[in-house]
A and B are shown apart, each in its own frame.
Chain A
């Protein structure tokens, strides 16, 4: 399979320059595209939402909060992710005006972070069934995410393993495998269109703008090794034409592979840095900030460092 031009560039950058490539940015940009802005309750101004067609019956509303994917059927709509609660009115407006007037039957949360599931607070009372992994439900109930809005609504249908929805003659496959970006991540696959929504398991199109510093939410059950394994499972088991990431642009399977390689490089780099057993967590943090230009303070450095240190330091 031929990787897209964009993916090739990413692959080349990753292969030839590695993490060191990050040091060519004399002035690293702020971590604007990390999973969530720090303030998650105050509505932030955003450009008007747009509807992008992915297939005959499949749409995307990208932009602020998270990307939202929408399956349109005679029986109703199925949404993947639902942005922040305060986006609800604008999101429904673009859906009603550009996509469909059918009722929203299902909302699937790719994971528990508020930028992906904050809209549950409005969609659930409006009658939609909200679906997530069981760890996703539990993390929301236990308020695991720092700074999340206090009124988050968990899924009313939760699962582990695989779930399938059959709506309006279409099939939707939802899989939860284990630790990755968080411990709650699910992928949502539309076999008829060969489109997969991967939430924050892959960054596409923002690899020079923050996406290269992964937020590994160890507190929420994430793990860098689990994340790599997870992406391998997805790419080896699924026929994929289009990939919808949680943020950024729609891509292809090559983008998943490129991001997987970035994670592997980070894992190897951190493991090598910690190998002699003399480095502390503070050393690792300083190294990532000073030599690898991780934005500080930034969500990724704050949330990933401790977990990576505990996970990758020499054992025994």
Chain B
């Protein structure tokens, strides 16, 4: 292989990987579709007596809210530009009391950028400890800067349970998948589970290849979610909800495996990323999955980056 070509491939892979960070406006700007926060409306769906999902846009992480006598608990925090709308949506449900906790499903800005405005009002931000560690890494080509006010102040490394508003809330840290700091949040009594950006809704999921994530981890954790949950569990995905079930997860998992195998085969055949993208390995899965934030080309790039890095080892 010519050195020139390797250079091009590396640069393209890095660009794809950077775009994959899902870091809010930066990622969107790169796609030429910066979010116009002023135009976004928050849609609220009630899942149980005291549990709600708030959705703003495909590029904004879905927020869940638990409400009751102890106050409000949120999963993820959207963007600071949406803070007032999110608070209005919270109060519109009749929820009272302070927002006591925000649990982050992982570090990406579309799930954590809103942390700071909550923390300023005394909300405790909770996450797996890798979220904090990665947020505090010095900024580099592959790691975006995370504002210090968004960094979690209560972290766990294995398992955590919260007892709040009469619910038992389990935080489960699965093996690295979307990132190495993922948290699955399970509301035991209501049988509702927020799975962050693990495979769930129909889309080309971002894979945090620079945050400890991997395609194989995504495939494994898709299966794990179906072991932790049961067929009655309402599963809230990080994007494009409000709720999915085992059917969607199974189909997503199959897609991940099929496309991974296709790409791995082409890499072994010596194909470049451009050639692999041109071969359209996702073609038969594109239908119904183009509404997400990640295009097929970007998604292929993520899997390519992950697989080639691991083949080198």
- B-binding residues in A (CB < 8 A): 129, 134, 137, 154-167
Known A129-B124, A156-B164: A162·B157 in contact at CB below 8 Å: yes
> What's the minimum C-beta distance from A77 to chain B, rounded to whole angstroms?
15
B272 on interface, CB distance cutoff 8 Å: no
B161 at the interface (CB under 8 A from A): yes
Q: How far is it, in angstroms, between the C-alpha of A167 and the C-alpha of B155 when the chains are bound?
A: 12
Task: Give bound CA distance, A159 to B126, whole Å.
Answer: 12
In-complex Cβ contact of A162 among B153, B158, B161, B163 (8 A): B158
Distance (Å) between the CB of A184 and the closest chain B CB?
A: 14
Tell me which residues across on chain B come within 8 A of A160, comparing CB atoms: 158-159
Contact check, B163 vs A159: say whether CB atoms are below 8 A apart: no
Chain A residues whose CB sits within 8 angstroms of the CB of B154 once the complex forms:
157, 163-166
Q: In the complex, which of the residues A156, A161, A164 contacts B159, with contact meaning CB atoms closer than 8 Å?
A: A161
CB distance from A106 to the nearest CB of B (A): 9
Main secondary structure of the interface of B (DSSP, over half): strand
Cβ–Cβ < 8 Å partners of A164 in chain B = 129, 132, 154-155
CB<8 Å pairs between A and B, sample of 11: A134-B159, A156-B162, A156-B164, A157-B160, A159-B156, A159-B161, A161-B159, A162-B129, A163-B157, A165-B154, A166-B132
- The answer to whether B153 and A167 have CB atoms under 8 Å apart is yes
Digitize B146-157: 1 where CB-to-A-CB distance is under 8 Å, 0 elsewhere: 000001011111
Please measure, in the bound complex, the distance between the C-alpha atom of A164 and the C-alpha atom of B164, giving whole angstroms.
Answer: 20
The CA of A154 and the CA of B158, in the complex, are separated in Å by 20
Among B132, B155, B157, B161, the residue within 8 A (CB) of A158 is B161
CB-CB nearest in chain A for B158:
A161
For B155, the closest partner residue in chain A by CB is A164
- The answer for the CA separation of A172 and B90 in the assembled complex, in Å, is 32
Q: In which size bucket is the chain B interface?
A: 10 to 19
Residue positions of B touching A, CB distance < 8 A:
124, 129, 132, 151, 153-164
Docked Cα-Cα span, A166 to B135, in Å, equals 14
A158 to B161, CA, bound (A): 5
* Chain B residue at smallest Cβ distance from A154: B163
Complex interface: chain A residues within 8 A of B153 (CB): 165-167
Given known pairs A129-B124, A156-B164, the reply for A162 and B159 (CB within 8 Å) is no
Q: How far is the CB of A299 from chain B (nearest CB, A)?
A: 29
Q: Which residue of A lies closest to B152 (CB)?
A: A166
| CA distance in complex: A161, B128 (Å) | 12
CB A174 to nearest CB in B, in angstroms, measures 9
| Known A129-B124, A163-B156, A166-B151; further 11 A-B contacts with Cβ < 8 A | A134-B159, A155-B163, A157-B161, A157-B163, A161-B157, A161-B159, A162-B157, A162-B158, A163-B155, A166-B153, A166-B154
Task: Say yes or no: A159-B160 contact (C-beta < 8 A), given A164-B129, A166-B153.
Answer: yes
Q: Known A129-B124, A162-B129, A164-B129; judge A156-B163 contact (CB<8 A).
A: yes
> Which chain A residues border B159 with CB–CB below 8 Å?
134, 159-161
Partner of B162, one of A157, A161, A162, A166: A157
Determine whether the beta carbon of B158 is less than 8 Å from that of A137.
Answer: no
Q: Are A159 and B129 in contact (CB under 8 A)?
A: no
What is the minimal beta-carbon distance from B171 to any residue of chain A, in angstroms?
A: 9
- Shortest distance in angstroms between B162's beta carbon and chain A's nearest beta carbon? 6
Contacting residues, chain A, for B151 (C-beta < 8 A)? 166
A-side contacts of B124, CB under 8 Å: 129
Contacts of A137 in B (CB 8 A): 161, 163
Chain A residues contacting B155 (CB-CB under 8 Å) are 163-164, 166
Kindly provide the distance from the CB of B225 to the nearest chain A CB, expressed in whole angstroms: 20
Structural contact, B160 and A163, CB atoms closer than 8 A: yes
Give the docked Cα–Cα distance between A165 and B132 (Å). 11
Query: Which residues of B have CB within 8 Å of A158?
Result: 160-163
The distance from the CB of B127 to the nearest CB of chain A, in whole angstroms, is 11
Q: How far is the CA of A155 from the CA of B161 in the complex (A)?
A: 10
A162 in contact with B156 (CB, 8 Å): yes
Minimum-distance CB pairs A-B, first 9 = A161-B158, A166-B153, A159-B160, A156-B163, A162-B157, A161-B157, A160-B159, A158-B161, A164-B155
Minimal beta-carbon separation of A79 from chain B (angstroms)? 16
Closest to A172 in B: B154
Q: Which residues of B contact A156 (CB under 8 A)?
A: 162-164
CB distance from A126 to the nearest CB of B (A): 13
| Nearest CB of chain B from residue A175's CB, rounded to whole Å | 10
Q: Determine how close the nearest CB of chain A comes to the CB of B163; give it in whole angstroms.
A: 5
- Please report the C-alpha to C-alpha distance between residue A165 and residue B129 in the assembled complex, in whole angstroms: 10
Query: A134 vs B162: C-alpha distance in the bound complex, in angstroms?
Result: 10
Alpha-carbon separation in the docked complex, A29 to B178 (Å): 60
CA distance A160 to B173 in the complex (A): 11
CA distance A161 to B153 in the complex (A): 17
A134 to B164, CA, bound (A): 15
Does A159 contact B158, Cβ atoms closer than 8 Å? yes
Contacts of B164 in A (CB 8 A): 156
Q: Which residue of chain B has its CB nearest to the CB of A167?
A: B153
A37 smallest CB distance to B (angstroms):
29
In the assembled complex, the CB of B168 is this many whole angstroms from the nearest CB of chain A, namely 10
List B contacts of A154 (CB < 8 A): 163
Cα distance, A156 to B161, chains bound together (Å): 8
Chain B: CB-nearest residue to A166: B153
Q: How far is the CB of A172 from chain B (nearest CB, A)?
A: 10
Distance from B292 Cβ to chain A, minimum over Cβ atoms (Å): 34
- Distance from A80 Cβ to chain B, minimum over Cβ atoms (Å): 16
Contact of A134 with B129 in the complex, beta carbons under 8 Å = no
Q: How far is the CA of A145 from the CA of B287 in the complex (A)?
A: 59
